[in-house]
Structure 1
Amino acid sequence: MAVTGSNGKTTTKDMIASVLSTQFNVTKTHANFNNQIGVPVTLLSMEPNTEVVVVEMGMDHFGELDFLSRLVQPDVAVITMIGEAHIEFFGTRDRIADAKMEIVHGLKEDGTFIFNGDEPLLQERAKEVSQHQRTFGLDDTNTLAGSDITTSRAQTQFKTSLWPNNMYTIPMMGAYNVNNALAALLVADTFHIRPAAAQQAIASFVPTENRTEWLTGYRGEAILSDVYNSNPTAARRVLAAFAAVPTKGQRIAVLGDMLELGDQSDALHMSLASELDPATIASVYLNGEHMRALAEVLQEKYPAGAVHYYQTDQQPQLIADLTATVSADDQVLLKGSHGIHLEKVLTALEAAPEK
């Protein structure tokens, strides 16, 4: 089976592999080896007794998913959502949706297309797909709808329309992760996995390293690290989740440039201001050339001295300023594209101060 989407595909892949492993011998994409090299590597690494292979598929140009889908020929194809990732190469979300829909080009005639039914761009394009279709989302018109969502630092709980008496738990914060879980549960149902087995598998799945995770800094501060990748949709979602987590100290957001946004980059960086409120996130540290646009907007809504901007090559100064400020009761969010290397900030927060 094949999984793609602007956000959530690696987490969804991990969840799907977990639920299917309750009944089948499963091979899944390692880490995020999801390109024209990684997908063949996944197929060639299958053990002889593999019954289901869960293949994550990524793309940043037209034709790439067409090639991967025809190579894999999946029985089930999943699209998690449509965001702005790689919009530099496509121009609009409509064209990103067109490219993501290539995942059904290799879908078997008797296969199943599972997609986010809350996304109008996918609903419209799914009308051209002849294979069986099932949808997930928060709207109750979906095949599987989520509801009653509660989230904390360590986990998120929710109920579903198909199994309303069951409370599902995933070991991750953020209501945005519910859709990933719903996709996995719908795959489980498609493969006739017992609901109780799927419920347990979702609760105990292990996400790929470097995804959103809580860590503890040297001073005792709580660090929400999400330094692998970033795009506007993902950043807004994690900011909203971070702002809702209770803390005794201050919430501090450290944001790095979101790459591959093209001509819309400055405007999309500025859009993060909607999720940044001094009442919930006390101070903001921004790193990268495009974050300058967000810094200028935030200066108007934050008190003096609460917004700190650093050019890309000024990250060492950011680290010095941040580590001199953070205290044991604080919570720190790290979110940026991997090319900005906020993992260096994480390393500094976890390390003992130099004497």
Structure 2
Amino acid sequence: EGLSPGTEVLIAEMGTFKKGEIADLCSWIPPEISVITSIGPVHLERFGSEDEIVEAKSEITRDASVVVLNADNHHLNSLSRRLSAEGKTLWMVSGNDMNADVAVRDDDEGNLVIYVGQKRLCAMPFLDVSRTNIAAAVAVSLVLGVPESSIAERLVTLPVAKNRLNVSVNPAGITVLDDTYNSNPAGSRLALGALERRKTVSSRAVVVTPGMIELGKKQFEENSFFGRAAARIATDIVIVGYTNRRALLKGIENANGEGFNPNVVLTKSRKQAVKWVKEHLVSGDSVLYENDLPDHFL
């Protein structure tokens, strides 16, 4: 309804809670180019296994002429072999592998460098975003016929989506990493890396989180892993609510045994957590807000 005459490109994000839903969406928005950025344990409680998630998400590829996949994800590597056998045109993208059609890697000067077919396309300022998402966007642009020069020009000023690891400095001089849109194991690792890069010997690095949800039978394990990883980086961990408290504390306890001993603060709500941050952090400190759940999840 919002499309105007002359619209040439529509980007439609499709999600699913069960098999068949993406197929239904594709029946009235048939994609010419399909992109799958990742497969992980999110919504595992609904699907039962990651293989079932692959089957559900791969519905988006059935009628597409071109498919862009994340080569760094082993599930999607397996899917690529099946789609290749079906005769699909594939673009494999990576945040590390130079053998991918499009790769995005760090250089020694603090930039991200984009390679197409192992040939350097351009460099862009470092961003705390998924390298494979950038690579996928470049691949789609190339498929659409966008000139490489235009892609390079736009990458220099690439914006970051709201609440998806936005980095800002507030009036008090505190660096705020806002990753509250949602959280999953891969995204949380990226966010912790962003916090670690801003940590100094004399400053505090704080993680505020209720943990991750909708991970099915892996929820305790994944939150425990996250708590352990956070404890290796943060000076303080503020746990919001009760849903994942035990799992996060278990992970922090494991990190304690490795010599990492962050201060742990337990709060009932995000409001209390934010109040603690305002009362204890000063200019030069950093805080990562990882996920933000409705009250009924806390």
Regarding TM over 0.5, the answer is yes
Match of 1:134 among 85, 91, 96: 91
User: Is 2:253 the counterpart of 1:299?
Assistant: yes
In the superposition, relative to structure 1, how do residues 249 and 163 fare at CA in structure 2: closer, same or farther (>3 Å)?
same
In the superposition, relative to structure 1, how do residues 150 and 101 fare at CA in structure 2: closer, same or farther (>3 Å)?
farther
Distance 1:105 1:60 in 2: 18
Distance 1:224 1:56 in 2: 24
Residue in 1 that maps onto 2:186 = 233
Deviation at 1:149, TM superposition (A): 4.3
User: Is 2:56 the counterpart of 1:99?
Assistant: yes
Residue in 2 that maps onto 1:199 = 152
**TM-score, with structure 2 as normaliser:** 0.86
User: Contact conserved, 1:58 with 1:65, CA < 8 A, in 2?
Assistant: yes
Distance 2:224 2:249 in 1: 8
Residue in 2 that maps onto 1:214 = 167
Distance 1:148 1:319 in 2: 33
Match of 2:124 among 164, 169, 176: 169
SS, match of residue 276 in structure 1: helix
| Consecutive unaligned residues in structure 2, runs of 5 or more | none
Q: Which moved more, 1:328-337 or 1:260-269?
A: 260-269
Residue in 2 that maps onto 1:190 = 143
User: Is 2:74 the counterpart of 1:120?
Assistant: yes
Distance 2:52 2:16 in 1: 13
**Letter paired with 1:78:** V
Distance 2:120 2:185 in 1: 35
In the superposition, relative to structure 1, how do residues 76 and 214 fare at CA in structure 2: closer, same or farther (>3 Å)?
same
**Letter paired with 1:232:** P
Match of 1:335 among 258, 265, 290: 290
**Letter paired with 1:116:** N
Alignment map for 1:1-355 (pairs within 5 Å): 44-107=1-64, 111-129=65-83, 130=86, 131-137=88-94, 138-149=96-107, 157-162=112-117, 164-169=119-124, 172-174=127-129, 177-247=130-200, 249-278=203-232, 280-288=233-241, 289-302=243-256, 306-310=263-267, 313-339=268-294
**TM-score, with structure 1 as normaliser:** 0.73
Deviation at 1:80, TM superposition (A): 0.8
Query: What is the number of residues matched between the two proteins?
Result: 288
**Residues 8-29 of structure 1, C-alpha deviations (whole Å, 9 max, x = no match):** xxxxxxxxxxxxxxxxxxxxxx
Distance 1:195 1:67 in 2: 35
Distance 1:286 1:151 in 2: 36
**Letter paired with 1:145:** A
SS, match of residue 173 in structure 1: coil
User: Contact conserved, 2:174 with 2:283, CA < 8 A, in 1?
Assistant: yes
Runs of 4+ in 1 over 6 A off after TM superposition: none
In the superposition, relative to structure 1, how do residues 46 and 307 fare at CA in structure 2: closer, same or farther (>3 Å)?
same
SS, match of residue 122 in structure 1: helix
In the superposition, relative to structure 1, how do residues 118 and 264 fare at CA in structure 2: closer, same or farther (>3 Å)?
closer
Deviation at 1:207, TM superposition (A): 3.4
Distance 1:193 1:321 in 2: 48
Distance 1:147 1:206 in 2: 18
User: Identity of paired residues, percent?
Assistant: 23
CA RMSD in angstroms comes to: 2.5
In the superposition, relative to structure 1, how do residues 159 and 268 fare at CA in structure 2: closer, same or farther (>3 Å)?
same
Deviation at 1:321, TM superposition (A): 2.8
Q: Which moved more, 1:119-128 or 1:193-202?
A: 119-128
Distance 1:128 1:304 in 2: 47
**Residues 174-215 of structure 1, C-alpha deviations (whole Å, 9 max, x = no match):** 4xx211111111111112211110111122233332222112
In the superposition, relative to structure 1, how do residues 165 and 231 fare at CA in structure 2: closer, same or farther (>3 Å)?
closer
**Residues 44-94 of structure 1, C-alpha deviations (whole Å, 9 max, x = no match):** 211101111111112222111111122211111111111222112112222
**Letter paired with 1:158:** V
**Letter paired with 1:336:** N
Distance 1:213 1:270 in 2: 25
**Residues 105-149 of structure 1, C-alpha deviations (whole Å, 9 max, x = no match):** 232xxx111111222212222333322112111223322223344
**Letter paired with 1:327:** V
Distance 1:187 1:314 in 2: 41
SS, match of residue 333 in structure 1: strand
Distance 2:269 2:20 in 1: 38
